[in-house]
A and B are shown apart, each in its own frame.
Chain A
Amino acid sequence: MNAPQHASLIGQRIPKMDAPEKVAGKTRYIQDLNLPGQLYGLILRTERVHARIVSIDTSAAKALPGVRAVLTAADVPIHPIGVNKDNPPLKGDKVRCERDEVAAVAADSLEIAQAAIKLIKVEYEDLPPIFDPRDSIKDGAPVIHAAKPDNVAMAFDYAHGDVERGEAESDVVVEDEFTLHRVTHCCMGVSGVIADFEPVSGNLTLYSNTQVPFLHKREFAEVLGMDPSRIRIIQPPIGGGFGSKLDIYPFEPIAVYLAKATRRPVKLIFTREEEFIASPTRQPAIIRLRSGAKKDGTLTFRTVDVLLDNGGYTSWGATIPFVMMQTFSSLYRVPHCRYHTKAVYTNNPFAGSFRGYGNLQATFAIEQQMDKMADALGIEPYEFRLKNAQNAGEVTGQGMHFKTCGFQDCLETAAGRSGFVEKRKALGAAKGLSGVRRGVGMASMLHVGGGAKIYPSDGCGTILKLDDFGHVTIMTGASEIGQGSETVLAQLVCEELGVPMSAVTVVNNDTDITPWDVGVHASRTTFIAGNSAIGAARKAKDKILAAAATVSNMKAEEMDLKGGNIVRASDGEKVMPLAKMLRQLHFSDKAELVMTTNYYEPPSVHQDKGFKGDVSAAYAWATQVVEVEVDTDTGIVKLLKVWAAHDVGRVLNEMGIEGQIEGGIIMGQGYALCEDMPVVEGHLVNPAFRDYKLITAPEIPEMDISFIETMDGEGPQGAKGVGEAPSICMAAAVANAIENATGVRIASLPFTPERVYSALKGRPL
């Protein structure tokens, strides 16, 4: 009767499992690894933006002592990478942006490689460039890829309802154009890879920062013309991901080519400058948005036209229109919607995938326009949103089914905690006065929270084993990229098996060991890998309790696992230690080990050709309110406070989820206020932290974070994905707050002092 009560781990504040190693400086990132006999790889990048390669002379570089290989496109199989297969790792015929790889060197030291690169002579013939995506689609524009003579890398069209009818029913119609800038991930750990090709066996081991190891393996095999089963990907801990590691990039096959040519391991690590120039960016976008509403505030229709600057090549990021579309079609109840997007080639740096995946851009447009429409209708913007917000049970025009939906709760919580309505009214009364003004702004978002069925499978595998002492090893396909997935997976398994966190090891970094997973994207890991791990743990538990039933006088259903013991479910009374049961199973006639496998595939569906279908097993919602201070004499905007209310399904690790939200908010603050990559004639102006301004500690706002727990029926213990959500609303909320403070609406980002000052003076940049 006095058996100990074992508290649930769910919702607790659990430190990350890898934290002690990280604080001690013991974690070995790709930069910290070295293989015996390794060479140093380095890439020669063109500095032209659009040019034909006339000749490449590598003879002087090859002659330099210590140089082991110098490769150009002529030395390697031409097999372009990327979703459009438009990006050869080494460029042979022409270059299309300043980052382009024209030659690569492997040498005994980095210094020798650097000297060798300088000795390579390339002769070019410049071609007419395109820098403005609007010019790409003009008649007679220069062609960037012969295979796409219209310069359109990808186009998406979507519609539901009948927008003409919607427009006819509208009392108010608002149309705007929004311009979104280029920013980049700035992972603190720069990109890198070590390729280890074993010439005798033909095995390739890649030490890679990828966040999609299994898709990577497949694409690598294609690019290299190898049998995929000969490729092993080992993922050392990474210094930040945020979507940047979702694609194969040219440097990775190049490292393999060098390793194959030299029969030595090759390590290739970027400098920070190279990271800025040669890693992907968020898509710059021009969004034309037209929406209507009836007098009572009911939305009637929406038409959207988006132009995305793809840059010179196409990454997975060019598919962000999928996500943008969801926001336009389904954040609010819109009976009629038409959407058209083009991602076009230019000679600018090429864009990739970045946390939020198009949703920061889409939300910036929609949520500013919601405020404008509310003003035009004479309705309080909060009420206007509430009236059109989705509810649980709704199936949208795009076919998304919101089985749980905390949107209205998010709105009410963020507005209530911030005193939004009263504050907005009071602060808005002083609009137009100069000096230091304050304002509040609100924005909301919808994002996938239960995976996204884009690839043929959106699943994740788990292998789980218990040893003779009750120690659990979870082998999962899901990568840890700093977000804390390994800790959450361990927590979920501990909850099922009644063991402490210290009894668990997570193996998640080796494709030869771990089962398949589609990768870390779409905020899916906790949801998909979590469900997979829970399934594996339940199978193990069933096996253990069935065995316990044979040696006790209780049925399996009458027992449970708690505190490292098998216990009576009704009162927690100890039956026997778990480890003892495991040994009995192992060292008896049964001779069994407890090992289970599980593959979880979410009950979502692929979209049809018209992009309709319930693509995620759950959807995440959030509302954020911000308060800003605007100095009308200088244009300086300070972010004072953020109230964030997030539908997270359920909090699994409170400290972990707070960390995701805080970090996301600050990333969104940077997007809104200061991060920018000006590109002049195809050249990045500021490839250094000195000039690319990131938010630092003194600038962070006060944060008030609320969790809305909708207990999703399909989620692991009720949870939904939250990784991308927190950065999505910020720019829109800040824009609305600046308007509340000054009466001036700014439709382009970022809100630097120059841009804000110019807008206040009536001369928008």
Chain B
Amino acid sequence: MMSVETEINFKLNGREVSLRVPATMKALAMLRDRLGLTGTKYACGEGECGACTINVDGKTVNSCLMYAVDCDGREVVTVEGLRTPEGLHPVQQAFVDHGAIQCGFCTPGMIMQAQHLLENNPTLTREEAKRGLEGNICRCTGYTKVLDAVEAVADKNGRCSHG
């Protein structure tokens, strides 16, 4: 079971990390099994559900498809890195306040994607949010309350009219 290990160095949730990973390891497995960050979820392993969404250099990626070695030199943020010292990130808080969570399994990926969408388009419309969240499957909520949460943040960001 030996495979070649490579040393990688990257910034994870604001801190420098350095570790050796096998060439075949996915970023998802590295986060969960090596670094103990189990907030990022496995639900398909094939890039089809968004449960494993993380942010790499300002873009969201499916960590189940990305190789761990490709994190080298990058800046990675997971759901655990959103929380600020003051408390939950506004997107996280909006998910709580608007009932966007049931079982919560899709939630970390959904929040990472929502945060990314809002960062790039702080006053996005409901239609834009729907399209932006297309790659994130939720089996429980029917998406309505997720969209409500995203819209509430857009409103706080100064969006004037509902899209």
Which residue of the partner chain, among B32, B96, B105, contacts A188 with CB atoms under 8 Å? Answer: B105
* Beta-carbon contacts under 8 Å, A178-194 to B: 185-190
Which of A23, A115, A238 interacts with B95 by CB under 8 Å? A23
Contacts A694-B137, A697-B129, A697-B146; is A688 near B44 (CB within 8 Å)?
yes
Contact of A19 among B48, B49, B101 (CB under 8 A): B101
Contact A689 B44 (CB under 8 A): yes
Rounded to whole angstroms, the CA-CA distance of A15 and B48 in the bound complex is 29
B145 in contact with A658 (CB, 8 Å): yes
**Cross-interface CB contact of B143 among A32, A240, A689, A700, cutoff 8 Å:** A700
Q: Which single member of B40, B99, B136 contacts A658 (CB below 8 Å)?
A: B99
Tally of contacts, chain A with chain B, CB under 8 A: 178
Q: In the complex, A662→B140 CA distance in Å?
A: 9
Within 8 Å by CB of B111, from A16, A23, A659, lies A23
Q: Could you tell me the dominant secondary structure of chain A's interface residues?
A: loop
Contact in complex: B141, A659 (CB < 8 Å): yes
Q: Which residues of A contact B1 (CB under 8 A)?
A: 66, 109, 111-112, 115
In the assembled complex, the Cα of A694 lies from the Cα of B139 at a distance in Å of 8
Write out, one digit per residue, whether chain A residues 91-121 have a CB within 8 A of any chain B CB (1) or not (0): 0000000000000000001011001000000
Contact with B along A52-67 (1 / 0, CB 8 A): 0000000000000010
Which of A28, A190, A658, A664 is in CB contact (< 8 Å) with B43? Answer: A190
Task: Assess the A697–B130 pair: CB atoms within 8 A.
Answer: yes
Give every chain A residue within 8 A of B41 (Cβ-Cβ): 29, 31, 188-189, 239
Chain A hits for B99, CB < 8 A: 13, 15-16, 19, 655-656, 658-659
Q: Determine chain B's interface SS by DSSP, over half rule.
A: loop
**Is the beta-carbon distance between B104 and A688 smaller than 8 angstroms?**
no
A237 adjacent to B104 (CB under 8 Å): yes
Query: Once bound together, how far apart are the Cα atoms of A85 and B144, in whole Å?
Result: 42
Cβ-defined contact, B134 with A690, below 8 A: no
The answer on a CB contact under 8 Å between A24 and B83 is: yes
Interface string of B117-142 (1 = CB under 8 A from A): 00000000000011101111111111
* Interface pair A482/B103, CB less than 8 Å apart: yes
Contact A187 B139 (CB under 8 A): yes
B9 within 8 A of A: no
Give residues 1-36 of A contacting B (CB, 8 Å).
13, 15-16, 18-20, 22-29, 31-32
B144 touching A20 by the CB < 8 A rule?
Answer: no
- A16: chain B residues at CB < 8 Å are 96, 99, 101-102
State in angstroms the CA–CA spacing of A240 and B105 once bound together: 8
Cβ-based interface call for A373 (8 A): no
A663→B141 contact, CB < 8 A: yes
B79 within 8 A of A: yes
Write out the residue numbers on chain A whose beta carbons fall within 8 Å of the beta carbon of B96. Answer: 15-16, 19-20, 23
Cross-chain contact A19 with B95 (CB below 8 angstroms): yes
Choose one: B80, B82, B103, B136; the contact of A189 (CB below 8 Å).
B103
Contact A26 B130 (CB under 8 A): no
Flag whether B7 is at the interface (Cβ < 8 A). no
Contact of A482 among B44, B133, B140 (CB under 8 A): B140
Tell me which residues across on chain B come within 8 A of A22, comparing CB atoms: 101, 104, 107
Q: Give the distance to chain A from B78, nearest Cβ to Cβ, in Å.
A: 7
> CB-nearest residue of chain B relative to A484?
B102
Residue A483, interface by CB 8 Å = yes
- The chain A residue with its CB closest to the CB of B109 is A188
Contact B144 A662 (CB under 8 A): yes
Whether A240 lies near B134 (C-beta < 8 A) is no
CA–CA, A22 and B78, complex, Å: 14
Give the chain A neighbours of B83 by CB distance below 8 A.
Answer: 24
Cβ contact of B139, chosen from A13, A112, A240, cutoff 8 A:
A240
- Determine if A189 and B105 form an interchain contact, defined as CB atoms under 8 angstroms apart: yes
CB distance from A469 to the nearest CB of B (A): 24
* Chain B CB within 10 Å, residue with most, of A18, A27, A111, A484: A27
Task: State whether B39 touches A24 (Cβ < 8 A).
Answer: yes
Contact A662 B44 (CB under 8 A): no
Chain A proximity of B82: nearest CB distance (Å):
8
Residue of A nearest to B92 (CB): A23
Bound-state CA distance A441–B119 (Å) is 41
Q: For residue B111, which residues in chain A have a CB less than 8 angstroms away from its CB?
A: 23
Q: Is A737 an interface residue (CB 8 A)?
A: no
In contact, B102 and A29 (Cβ under 8 angstroms): no
> Which residues of B are found within 8 Å of A15, using beta-carbon distances?
96-97, 99
B39:A25 contact, CB within 8 angstroms:
yes
Residues from chain B with a CB closer than 8 A to the CB of A664 are: 142
**Selected contact of A697 from candidates B44, B101, B136, CB within 8 Å:** B136
B68 to chain A, nearest CB (A): 15
A31, B146: Cβ atoms under 8 Å? no
**Contact of B147 with A by CB under 8 A:** yes
Cβ of A588 under 8 Å from chain B:
no
A480 to chain B, nearest CB (A): 9
The answer to whether B79 touches A24, judged by C-beta atoms less than 8 angstroms apart, is yes
Complex Cα distance A484/B39, Å? 20
- Alpha-carbon gap, A694 to B48, bound state (A): 11
How far apart sit A656 and B98, CA to CA, in the bound complex (Å)? 10
Q: Nearest B residue to A14 by beta-carbon distance?
A: B99
User: Which residues of chain B come closer than 8 Å to A112, judged between CB atoms?
Assistant: 1
User: Which partner residue on chain A sits nearest B22 by CB separation?
Assistant: A111
Whether A25 lies near B105 (C-beta < 8 A) is no
Interface pair A188/B46, CB less than 8 Å apart: no
User: Are A25 and B40 neighbours in the complex by a CB distance under 8 Å?
Assistant: yes
- A665 contacts partner chain B, Cβ-Cβ < 8 Å: yes
Residue B21 CB within 8 A of the other chain: no
**Does A225 reach chain B (CB closer than 8 Å)?**
no
Name the residue in A22, A187, A666 with the highest tally of chain B Cβ atoms < 10 Å from its Cβ. Answer: A22
Look across to chain B and name the residue whose beta carbon is closest to the beta carbon of A657: B99
CB of A240 within 8 A of CB of B39, answer no
A663 touches B45 (CB 8 A): no
B45, B92, B98, B137: the one within 8 Å of A24 (CB): B92
Question: What's the Cα separation between A18 and B131 when bound, in Å?
Answer: 28
**Chain A residues with CB below 8 A from B48, complex form:** 688-690
Q: Does B51 contact A (CB under 8 A)?
A: yes
Across the interface, B137 reaches (CB within 8 A) one of A25, A26, A662, A696, namely A696
Quick check: A25 and B80 within 8 Å, CB to CB? yes
A493 CB → nearest B CB, Å: 20
Is the CB–CB distance between A240 and B140 below 8 Å?
yes
Do A659 and B102 touch across chains, with their CB atoms under 8 A apart?
A: yes
Contact (A23, B103) CB under 8 Å given A32-B38, A666-B142, A703-B144: no
With a 10 A CB-CB cut-off, give which of A24, A190, A656, A658 has the most chain B CB atoms. Answer: A24
B128 CB to closest chain A CB (Å) equals: 10
Q: Are A31 and B42 neighbours in the complex by a CB distance under 8 Å? A: yes
A28 B101 Cβ-Cβ under 8 A: no
Given contacts A188-B43, A272-B44, contact A23 B140 (CB under 8 A): no
Q: A658-B145, A665-B142 are in contact. Are A240 and B46 (CB under 8 A)?
A: no
Inter-chain contacts of A688 with B (CB < 8 A): 44, 46, 48
Interface residues of A in 484-532 (CB under 8 A from B): 484
CB distance from B114 to the nearest CB of A (A): 11
Check A698 for interface membership: any CB of B closer than 8 A: yes
Residue A242 interfacial (CB < 8 Å): yes
Q: Which residues of A contact B51 (CB under 8 A)?
A: 188
Contact B88 A272 (CB under 8 A): no
Q: Which 3 A-B pairs have CB atoms at the shortest separation, nearest pair first?
A: A25-B39, A482-B103, A22-B104
Instruction: Beyond the given A22-B104, A29-B41, A662-B142, please list 13 additional residue pairs across the A-B interface where CB-CB is below 8 A.
Output: A20-B92, A24-B39, A25-B39, A25-B79, A26-B80, A239-B43, A272-B44, A481-B103, A658-B99, A663-B102, A663-B140, A697-B143, A698-B130
Q: Chain B: residues with CB nearer than 8 A to chain A?
A: 1, 32, 37-46, 48-49, 51, 78-80, 82-83, 88, 92-93, 95-99, 101-108, 111, 129-131, 133-147
Provide 14 A-B residue pairs closer than 8 Å at the C-beta atoms, listed in order of the A residue: A15-B99, A19-B104, A20-B92, A25-B37, A188-B137, A237-B103, A239-B103, A240-B105, A665-B142, A690-B46, A697-B130, A698-B130, A700-B142, A703-B144
A residues sitting closer than 8 Å to B (CB atoms) are 13, 15-16, 18-20, 22-29, 31-32, 66, 109, 111-112, 115, 185-190, 237-242, 271-272, 481-484, 655-656, 658-659, 662-667, 688-690, 694-698, 700, 703
